[in-house]
Amino acid sequence: MLKGLIAALGIAFGATATAGELLKNQVFDRYSPLVASDEFSRRVFTPTTHDRLQRFQTHLGRKAIEHTVDLANERFEVYVPSRKPEAGYGLLVYISPEDNVSITRHWKRALDRSGVIYVSARRSGNTHNVYERRIPLALHAYENIRARYAIDPNRVVISGYSGGSRTAIRTAAAYTDVFTGALLIGGAKVMGEEDFAPPPLALMTRMQREMRIVYSTGSHDMPNRRLDGRSIEALKKRCVAGVFKIFDRKVGHELPDERTLVRAMARLDAPLDERSLASQNECMKNLQPQIESDIAAAEAAWADGNRALAGERLGNADLAWGGFATERLVRLARILAPN
């Protein structure tokens, strides 16, 4: 009786799709340890914000809840391509701007050609909280797919469209040890602005030297093309080597077509070349003095007794440089706000 009811509702508990099959209401049961509260905070927030949260928990004498979603109540869409590559499937974790948008036939064909599994969480659109739902659901999706299918760890991509793209780039930066690439469609956030700081140094270094990031916003989508330009400039300023643009010249604010997606996936599969890595080394030589200068300016303001200016400069440096200078940022923040 229960199995019949589940089947009638179209819900798949722990099911594994066959080649070319789409599961629209998949239920997952594995929680990613990478989004447990303290680990999530360390990766996603600025160094001083993470430190304040840790100190606040210590003051209260209790920890934050480990996970902010109940997977029993969540549903995911999974598409398994018709072709499985010898090294294992690629994986594309997709963040939609809407709650219940299904994969298109054009994307299915592109994923078939590339041998890439697609997974996307329901109820993860722009109206939902980035920290409590959108990023965690993407990581839980990854955790469950890799447990059920043979995944090539060198072909794991985070993607999103419009507001989903803004979340995808933050997820990519915070989880460079999970994702080898990011496919950003319809405008991406700018590192160093709003709430998007460089992640801890080990993760940032992987982003600089290993991650491939493809911007694929339609040529007629000018507001988001301009946003992409600022996003690309911010990554290059922070010496991220693998930044590329692949787009359809005929479209506006919409998803890329099959051919464009295949081109983007091929670019995401290709490791960075020696020339790009050499340029990244040269970039870092120029970046380090700028980081040093900004933090030294905040420390100097404090030494001069100007607490307000020191706090302003510290906040700017914390957001701009984040994991590049965690220890110095946190040290000054604790002096300015010891409690």
| Look-up of token digits 């799709």 | 17
SS3 content of the chain, % helix, strand, coil (to 5): 50, 15, 35
Do both 180 and 310 map to the same domain?
no
Report yes or no on 26 lying in a domain: no
Task: Tell me which residue of 242, 167, 240, 178 sits closest to 205, measured CA to CA.
Answer: 240
Can you give the pTM of this predicted structure? 0.93
Do both 263 and 294 map to the same domain?
no
> For the domain that residue 190 is a member of, what is the CATH number?
3.40.50.1820
Last residue of a domain, which of 222, 244, 272? 272
Report yes or no on 27 lying in a domain: no
Do both 120 and 44 map to the same domain?
yes
Do both 98 and 81 map to the same domain?
yes
Q: How far is CA 321 from CA 8, 83, 201, 235, 312, in A?
A: 52, 42, 10, 11, 14
Alpha-carbon distance 167 to 12, whole Å?
Answer: 27
Domain range spanning residue 74? 33-272
Do both 257 and 289 map to the same domain?
no
Alpha helices in the chain (DSSP H): 2-9, 37-44, 47-60, 105-114, 135-148, 163-174, 201-209, 222-237, 258-269, 274-303, 307-321, 326-336
What residues have CB less than 8 Å from 182, skipping those under 6 apart? 157, 158, 159, 168, 169, 171, 172, 211, 212, 213, 214
Do both 110 and 252 map to the same domain?
yes
Last residue of a domain, which of 272, 293, 323? 272
| Number of structural domains the chain divides into | 2
What does each of the 339 residues of the chain score in pLDDT, given as a tens digit?
Answer: 333 333 334 445 556 777 788 999 999 999 999 999 999 999 999 999 999 999 999 888 888 889 999 999 999 999 999 999 999 999 999 999 999 888 999 999 999 999 999 999 999 999 999 999 999 999 999 999 999 999 999 999 999 999 999 999 999 999 999 999 999 999 999 999 999 999 999 999 999 999 999 999 999 999 999 999 999 999 999 999 999 999 888 889 999 999 999 999 999 999 999 999 999 999 999 999 999 999 999 999 999 999 999 999 999 999 999 999 999 999 999 999 987
| Look-up of token digits 């019949």 | 4
Do both 76 and 210 map to the same domain?
yes
Do both 191 and 70 map to the same domain?
yes
Report yes or no on 13 lying in a domain: no
